[in-house]
Amino acid sequence: MKDIYILQIETATPTCAVAISKNGATISAVQGEEANMHASHLTLFIEQVLQKAGITMADLGAIAVSMGPGSYTGLRIGVSTAKGLCYALDIPLLALNTLDAMAAGFLAQNGVDSGTVVVPMIDARRMEVYMAIYDDQGVLKTPTSAQIIDETSFVEMGQVVLFGTGADKFEGLFQAVPSVTVSTGFQNSAEYLSTLSYTKFLQQEFEDLIYFEPFYLKDFIASTPKKRI
């Protein structure tokens, strides 16, 4: 079987990240978190990961992009770049939910006890976040939504681990809640797209280049998470 190289783009959060995967395994990656670097560095990062991987654009089998939710500007830049490359190279576009990728990346790096739920969070504003809930194997339990978080948000859920740009601001809020752990400092990465994008490629879950848009999740009525999964 021919090797499948996928260029992966992650711009949904303050991290601007690009990676190359070969048959589902990351072989090169680069990222940064300087302010407003998505527009200025994305093309440069793409050139760098291709060079590190020892391949050219012509070797790519697909482009994978983190589709959101997240930063409106970051998503627009990442998706427009991905679509442009797909048009130019005549290769398919793969779109991955940003929270799915975060959950996969976190669980690959951190062991959690059986029965623990993990909650990737992307900062929206004030006490609001974009979030989803996954079990300890990364299986989605509660789909992506926008929520207002308070100290009662995760009662009756058992052990809960929160992480991501949206979780860091709640470290103090949950200090007195022993069932909730806030894992601070999580950094998003295009590497977390590798397994998910390869699976989608094999299943031929390609996006329509004409109609595909980022998952902005910007117009919402925020609510409180359900007390039970």
One-letter-per-residue 3-state SS of 97-153: CHHHHHHHHHHHHCCCCCCCEEEEEEEEECCEEEEEEECCCCCEEEEEEEEECCCCC
All CATH 3.30.420.40 domain ranges in the chain, comma separated:
5-98+188-203, 99-183
pLDDT grade for 221, boundaries at 50, 70 and 90: very low
Based on C-alpha coordinates, what's the Rg of the chain? Answer: 17
User: pLDDT tens digits for 18-45?
Assistant: 999 999 999 999 999 887 788 889 999 9
Read off the pLDDT band of 179 (50, 70, 90). very high
**Range 99-183 classified under CATH 3.40.190.80:** no
**Spatial distance between the Cα atoms of 164 and 162, rounded to a whole number of angstroms:** 7
| Contact (Cβ atoms closer than 8 angstroms) between residue 115 and residue 158 | yes
* Average confidence (pLDDT) over 118-132: 93
> In terms of CATH architecture, what is 5-98+188-203?
2-Layer Sandwich (3.30)
Whether residue 5 has pLDDT greater than 50: yes
Instruction: Return the percentage of the chain with pLDDT > 90, whole number.
Output: 85
Mean of the per-residue pLDDT values of the chain: 93
| Residue 58 near residue 50 (C-beta atoms within 8 A) | no
Q: Provide the whole-model pTM.
A: 0.92
Average pLDDT over residues 202-212: 97
